[in-house]
Every structure is written in C-alpha cells, then in structure tokens.
C-alpha cells in the first residue's frame, strides 16, 4: 500500500520561471472502460488517494503556483474532490475524530477549472489554457502518467532544463518497440546523457519509429504553442494533436527532450496500474 502522505518534497531552489500548469483531464478514459463510464481514471485510487491528488502534489513540489484543470461534463468528481466538505469536517469534529482532518487536507495551490465540451484531442484540451497562460511558458501535466522515485519530482526535472536552455522541453522514457505506436516518438541529437535536442517528433508511428524514446506526460512549452495549435486543422480521427504543434514549432524554435529519472506508471495501462497498487509503501518513500 502506498503512503497517504505527500510523497513529493518541494524543491526549495525553484526560480519561479514556470508558475502555471495545465492538467488536461477531459478524456473519456476509453482504455479503462467500463469502469470509466462512472469513475474518471484520474480518480482511480492508489494508497487511499486518487491519482489526481499525486499529480497536483507533484506540481506543488515543482514550484507551480496555479493550475488549470480541463474537465468535461462527466468529470465533476474532480472538482468535488478538491473542494472542501464542510459537512464532513463538521461530522469529524462532532464525532471527536479531528485526527482524520489531516488525511482530507488538499494540496495548497490555486486550482481553477474549464469545461471542454467536445473531445478533440490533447491539443484541443491544451488550447483551452491560452487565456490562463497569458503569454507565460506553461507546464502540461497528463494525469495518465504517475512518476515516482526520482531524486526530484518529474516536472521539476523538466523545469530545470527549461531554466538552463530557455527552450521547450518534453519528458522522455525509453520504451519497448511494440508500445511505441501508442506515443509520440522523437528523433534527437544527443547533448549529454539523457538529454537531447529534438530534430523531429512523430505521433504514434505505425512503422519505423525514429527512436525508442517516447514522449510521456510532462511538457514545458512556450506560449507560442497556442498559435501553432490555433493553426491546426483537425487531423485523421478528428483530433488536434499536441505532437503536431510541437513538430511545427521545431522549424524555428528549439525543443529539448529529457529522459526522466524515476519510475513511470501509465494509469490507463491495466498492467501498470496493478503494479502500482501492489507496491509496498517503503518502496515509494
């Protein structure tokens, strides 16, 4: 069982260049049907807390000050979860169970929400954060991916690269060949161990992927990303792909790829989720 306490320690050296994060959480969760008909995959429990709680904790520990969560009509549970429950607090006080109050305490960060009315891909969800970003670079955190046991939180690792190179950054993991068709895959020029300058990026390659380095759910992107998303037409499958916008940005803006330290769990993958919930708490801390 995973510890219910915060598993991320805030980096006290955060410079504050990246203050805002967008969490796209409006998808249907088709990989996890039928349970996602009624329970958003972001609310799947791990050690007594939902996945989305760990995602927000990672953002806080990385120095993020504001979060925009993109939700859909069937994701009201996410909004309710991060709200206070005055009735529950009153009950715990009356029942002399105030020691349980710490367990329902939410991460200390400002969260706002916007509803996406139509599922048109990750790029469409990210584009809804244009006004929120207000011409600042912004972090994108996909709640499908939980990153654990790195020396620094996964998002913080990317922010450090952004602060050093002042260019877009995507998170990478070496991935088995048979799974590459499920991800964006990069072609890159190696700068040093684990760090690449992107030459190209391909969305879900069916044949001949350019490498075995798959993009996973963490990004730091300049505000120019919104203009590239705006120019996109709906691609095959009627989705706006964030990968395509990043690919177009490469023509005149640098982007780096960092192999993230630590373990990555894809919550939409049943095998990964089972591995995660079967972990022992001492292996997480």
Q: What is residue 279's predicted lDDT score, i.e. its pLDDT?
A: 72
Q: What is residue 13's predicted lDDT score, i.e. its pLDDT?
A: 54
Q: Does domain 20-284 have CATH number 1.10.40.30?
A: no
Where do the structural domains in the chain lie, given as residue ranges? Answer: 20-284
CA quadruple 39, 104, 277, 121: dihedral positive or negative? positive
> What is the C-alpha R_g of the chain?
19
Cα–Cα distance for residue pair 31/196, rounded to 1 Å = 30
Q: What is residue 150's predicted lDDT score, i.e. its pLDDT?
A: 76
Note whether 237 and 141 are within 8 A (CB). no
Note whether 121 and 204 are within 8 A (CB). no
Task: Spell out, as residue ranges, where the chain has pLDDT lower than 50.
Answer: 1-3, 5, 280-285
CB proximity list for 265: less than 8 A, separation 6 or greater: 145, 146, 147, 148, 272, 273, 275, 276
Q: Which tokens hold the place of 93?
A: 């006080």
Kindly report the pTM of this predicted structure: 0.89
Q: Which tokens hold the place of 116?
A: 């996406």
Q: What is residue 277's predicted lDDT score, i.e. its pLDDT?
A: 86
Q: What is residue 285's predicted lDDT score, i.e. its pLDDT?
A: 42
Q: Please name which of 55, 63, 67 lies closest in space to residue 10, comparing C-alpha atoms.
A: 63
Q: Please name which of 143, 153, 64, 120 lies closest in space to residue 232, comparing C-alpha atoms.
A: 120
């Amino acid at each position: 069982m995973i510890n219910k306490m915060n598993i991320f320690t805030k980096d006290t050296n955060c410079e504050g260049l990246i203050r805002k994060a967008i969490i796209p959480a409006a998808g249907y969760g088709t990989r996890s049907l039928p349970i996602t008909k009624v329970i958003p995959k972001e609310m799947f429990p791990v050690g007594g807390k939902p996945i989305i709680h760990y995602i927000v904790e990672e953002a806080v520990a990385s120095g993020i000050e504001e979060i925009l969560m993109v939700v859909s009509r069937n994701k009201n549970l996410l909004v309710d979860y991060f709200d206070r429950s005055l009735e529950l607090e009153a009950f715990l006080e009356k029942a002399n169970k105030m020691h349980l109050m710490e367990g329902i305490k939410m991460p200390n960060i400002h969260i706002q929400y916007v509803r996406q009315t139509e599922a048109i891909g990750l790029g469409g969800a990210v584009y809804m954060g244009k006004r929120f970003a207000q011409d600042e670079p912004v972090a994108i955190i996909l709640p499908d991916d939980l990153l654990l046991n790195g020396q620094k939180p996964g998002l913080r690792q990317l922010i450090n690269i952004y602060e050093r190179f002042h260019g877009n950054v995507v998170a990478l993991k070496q991935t088995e060949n048979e799974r590459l068709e499920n991800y964006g895959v990069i072609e890159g020029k190696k700068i040093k161990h684990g760090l690449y300058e992107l030459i190209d990026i391909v969305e879900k390659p069916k044949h001949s992927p350019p490498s075995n380095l798959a993009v996973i759910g963490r990004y730091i992107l300049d505000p120019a990303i919104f203009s590239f998303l705006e120019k996109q037409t709906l691609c095959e499958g009627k989705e706006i792909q964030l990968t395509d916008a990043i690919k177009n940005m490469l023509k005149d803006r640098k982007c780096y790829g960092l192999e993230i330290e630590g373990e990555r769990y894809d919550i939409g993958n049943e095998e990964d989720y089972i591995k995660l919930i079967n972990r022992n708490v001492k292996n997480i801390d």
